[in-house]
Structure 1
Amino acid sequence: MRIPTSQFAAPRIDARALLGLYDPADSTDWAPIRAAQMNGGAQMALFMLAANVIGATLVTLSFAHLVPLAWLVGWNALVAIVAVGVAVRRLSTRNRTDRNATLADVRGTFLDGIALGGIWAVAPMVFGHYADPIALLGLYSVVVVLMASAAISMATLPLATLLFLGMVGSAMSGTFVLLAMPTIAGTTVIFTALLMVGCFARGRALVVMRANEIALSERDETVSLLLRETEEDSSADWLWEIDAQRRVVRASPRFARSIGVDPTTINGKSFLEILAGPTWESGNFAAGLRALSDKLKAREAFRDLLLPVYVDGQERWWEMSASPRFVEDRGFVGFRGVGSDVTEQRASADKINRMARYDTLTGLPNRLLINETLGQAMQEADKWGSRCGFMMIDLDRFKAVNDTLGHPIGDRLLGRVSDRLKTLITDNEIIGRLGGDEFAVVVRDATDTAKVEQLAHTIISTLSTPYDVDQHTLFIGASVGVAIGPRDGRTPEMLIRSADLALYRSKDAGGGVFHAYEPQLHLQAEERRVLEMALRSALEKDELHLMYQPVVDAGTGSLTGFEALLRWTHPTLGPVSPAKFIPLAEEARLIAPIGEWVLRTACHEAAGWKSYSRVAVNVSAEQLHNPGFVAVVANALATSGLSADRLELEVTESVFLREGTGATQTLERLLDLGIRLSLDDFGTGYSSLGYLSRTRFSTIKIDRSFVTGAARGVKEAIAIIRAVVALAQSLDMTTTAEGVETEEEHMLIKTLGCSKVQGYYFGRPLPVEEARGLTDSVGEQVRAA
């Protein structure tokens, strides 16, 4: 509600304010009054234009036979130009000053009065010396009528009108004095003075009328408010009024009921003491009450000031608006205003604000609040020259819980994780959930980096402890990435990006660890981005090709087959290591189309070999988790014409880590096609014997690390190879030792009982032409034998 400024009475009209020379510092709102003055002038602009033009024409006709025609025409044109300019100027400001006008708008009209007064003063002062009695009488009549018209019609702009009357009247009376006509000169002075007094009085009356209209409008507004006080609606506004000593006067019943006191006893009490309630004695005032006290002390109007009050021991929220009251003969007499109880609206707004900033599942701050808090922490760090920290937390193996036990169990697990995180925070940190299984920590003061690192270790340790959820014992872990601002980023977005890169490094290291951001991580991320963009088009641009590494019999050294190895040669980057682009292809979900191309290409090539050599193709876990992969293999065999027993698919233990995805069933269906399966890198992962019991593998491949270890005489490596060989023989499987590079390694592997060997000692990966030539020669030897 708008608070009345006129206090329901016509304001005292200051003459300087009326003329537009002064802006009074009282409670009167002069903006709409000045707008009424400007609008009044605009309404009569065309009338005064016509009066000026007609008057100038009559004067020209009266002096046509007495004054040179050029003078009259020039003066007449000048009157028309000035009159048109004044009319256009007043009409152009009509829209801009429709409701409110400034002091400069009214003050600027004096130029209109001076311009018109100056041009009309020329007529008596110049033409009067040439006039005969009849012409002089005609001039006097025109000027008198024009002055009277201006005094009546343009009284709303008294400054311009008074200047016009004064200049024209002075010129006329001066002319009569020079013509030795003192009686008419004196009469002209009196007439001019009367017109000026009448003009000022009329202008003041018009202003008073406008002020009364404003006061009446405000009174109607207040009456409407008073009528609302009779309603039972507790949200209705109520009036309050205090005197110059800030004591309550004429308290309304609703105001008294809202504060919980008797209306008959509240008058005369300190307004601030009533609002402060129990905090008055302690002096622990709310910020809103202090702001209200400052406004009252400064005698400044205010609106929508929010402050807490205590009613019957409960905190309520009030919204207050008021303006100071001034009386003409007494000056400042206090404040009158309105208030309303907005407790319910504030509670609703707080609830909406909380929903927008807190995660509904865990109750932790969400991404929005975390970003806001990080921004504040960075501002404080920049202000005091300190540091702040940001951690990103990602849960390890959480997806397996969702996939195997379902999302309800996963949601309850997230709740347990958030409960543990809450126990770790102090006033220096805020922990939130970014979404999914990602959490974050904002460290307001991260000057002590050792404490930040210790917190990261504590988070990993705490979250890695087993969880009991709905009779399930769940094992997950956590990976953490840490960034310190402003060192690792001068904006929240940059710092979050840095922490994300550090988290990616932690995940890439296998999880369960934390890494702090390092500048080279950005370079690595940019390199990964460039590689990923190039890899997405590598297949279409025919940049991929296969190399074939021989696999030979450990005893005889004869060729048994090849392993197809994918290679990528970029036109500008050159050869890209498989250790770089294969993990990138899996992460970017490109491994499926690339793997299918490898399979079809290898099958087509092997089908043309003259010897009965097998071809081994590596298959990713992503491919085996696709139910349509069996059809892809069958189609590749049928299209190429390769017999199924000559195709061997190599898989790693990682395919068994995602339960419930159908990988085991896919492998069984592939075996039904007649192909062979090889378990690659056995011994480097979880190495569960259950994998071997559930799937009919043909070959177990022993990783190169055990081969080199055994060659150096490491007892554990030798024992592992012997165990794997014995296990394979008992399950009717063959063994292939990878990475054999020397005669010594070959003889040791042969002694330990491995069936086949693969490595640089027997041949590096060969281009397709060389591999084809090798198989052709082997085929010819077989046929010759």
Structure 2
Amino acid sequence: MGLRGKNIGESLYSASGYEGVFVVENDRTTYALFKGQPSQAGANTYIDTPLQPIIEQARAAAVSREQITHFVLFNGWPAALSAAAVRPDREVTDSEVSQAPVMLFIDQLTESKLAQLGNGAGLTGMHVEKEDMQDHSHLRIDLGDTGYHLTWNSPLPGRQMLRAVLPALLCALLILGLVMLYLFRHALRSSRAIGLTLVHLQQSNQALEASEQRFRAVAESASDWIWETDRHQRLTYLSQRFANVTGYPVDGWLGHPLNQLLACDTTPLSPWLDALATADPQQLANLRCTYRDQNGQNRYCRISARAIWRDGKAIGFRGTASDITDEVDAHARIQHLSLHDPLTGLANRNKLARHLEQALLRGSDSPPLTLLLLDLDNFKPINDSLGHAAGDAVLQEVATRLRDTTRDGDLVARLGGDEFILVLSGMDNSSEIDRFCARLIGLLQQPIVFESQPLHIGASIGVAQTRNQGFDAGELIRCADIALYQAKADGKNTWRYFVAEMNQQIQYRRQLENDLRRALRNEEFELHYQPRYRLDDLRIVAVEALVRWRHPQEGLLGPDTFIPLAEQSDIIVALGRWVLREACRTAHDWPADVLVSVNLSPAQFLRSDVVADVREILLDTAFPAQRLELEITENVMLNDIEGALGTMLSLKELGVRLNMDDFGTGYSSLGYLRTYPFDSIKIDKRFISGLNNNGGSDRAVVQAIINLGEAMGLTVTAEGVESEHQLKALENDRCHEVQGYYLSMPLDSAGLAALLHQTSQSTAQPL
């Protein structure tokens, strides 16, 4: 372990004249300084005398805080060596001394140094000679085992000379002793100072090496790859993970500009990095980029970057790249399915609404539009008799035929079930529309082959036009719906234009709205309950309350019949309160670990004080707040983002649970999960229905939603489970909870009580 560029002894050469400074530890040189410059060579390279005895003597002398001196050959020439062990400023043990590093200071007996020494003693010609060059006319001092001795000139031989020289010699020896004593003390002080520095540097190097080992381990095991560039954004480092992710060898990209590897559609990469060089040195920025891997596949990554600073200047850039291809693909599939029907691939209600909003944006200045609302005839018997697989095959073939019939710029959407809508741009002539409708019905009447069996269906069409019905999207669909109803009443397999006389249908709806108000007063509503099962053991963990209307003339009506009417008026608020109160009152007698789940209408959420209503009902019914779950759709958040967030936070303070219903079908469901305090999410049944077809994209989206919920700590429920195949797929994907007709139909309160009693003793079985 070296001292990595730390020249801590440079002054020892310039100021003190030491030709060599060495640190010996564990029988090897850990630091070397030759003539003031760091050296990679060991002490034995320069010192010809065996060092081990000297090192052992120095360690022995360290106990009494002393140092030792020797004459040695240094680089082939005699030199004075001072040695001292590096020891802490405290009492030390023998074992510590025996392992202590030893500092070696070398002072060569050069001609200039000897001349200076001789002049100070009044001697001339002081120099060193080999032992085999003895001259008895000269006096000498042996220099240890170096094979050299120190000598000087004696101009007058004889006793008189000795009398004259002897005092000078003694003086020279005294001076030499004083010099050696100064050398020893200076060496000891220097050894202590350098020793402390050495210890600190060794500790720093150990920490640095450990940090580098951790960095390498993290860099090679992490999913991200690490990169560095110089100031000109040329790559100077790539971690090995880069090769694993991209397939490219690391060396193949070093020296290339980063923007040759990565591209960004929204922000140019080079200016984005340059901006970091003028920003806060601690600023860390993120950017989504694309690149092609070695196989030519487009991939996505999110890079994090910051500038590398030295002496107040940015000298390069460093960061990580996280491969997010799977995340982007899953998000794109979810976004696609939020605007498209998963079974047919056609546009869904969301995309239809966007399309109409854009097409009708300019009102009367907008191009003429014709809406065809199409409902299949004879579809229900096929679906009921041959099963959902046959029904799905029919719907997919119908979608293909509709798509092939329309033009670019037209829109084909599936509204749900066997109902479709076509938006025809620029087609305003009645005769042209008649020909199109006739061709469409004729095309759909052609047999559809399923498992070698021909299936026959038809179609009824309701027509509405902006020329006659105006430029309001809701009004156009409403008029087309009334016209469709008339087409079916007229014998099916035909089409009808909306006319004013059809407003009788509107009168019917108004009558239904009046009946709705009466129903609330006459207590004609009732709740049915559909259980929700924990998938691990098929135990009932929650029950969803579903409102029904027992109409005196029409019989039992589902919510699709009257909830839209209730939402168009203030009836929805009173109806919503009744549902919530009745659900809490009934659930009070259920097992304590079973939740009750109640749907909140967006209109109810916006037009009433939901928090006050929930608080009052919980107090009146003495129902535990933690057993109440409120299901909320994305439409609640679309209307009032800030207000909705405040209401939800207040509901959470009451202790109730919040569930995002129909997850994945809206505009920004992923963003809502990050913003709003949901406890759970429900995967929309349209995603689940696609599992019957073993469709890779549907399965991948369901898995992505489950993984997302798991990562965010949310309970994930799959609704609309109607087959064993769907149940098994969800079980394999580790979905938390399931709900659907395959497990249990909605039950009245008595039927649910019996089921709860049954399942309290044993695991539920699918009905």
**TM-score normalised by structure 1 residue count:** 0.36
TM-score of the pair, normalised by structure 2: 0.37
Select the structure of larger CA radius of gyration: 1
RCO comparison, higher one (Cα < 8 Å, 6+)? 1
| Structure with greater proportional helix content | 1
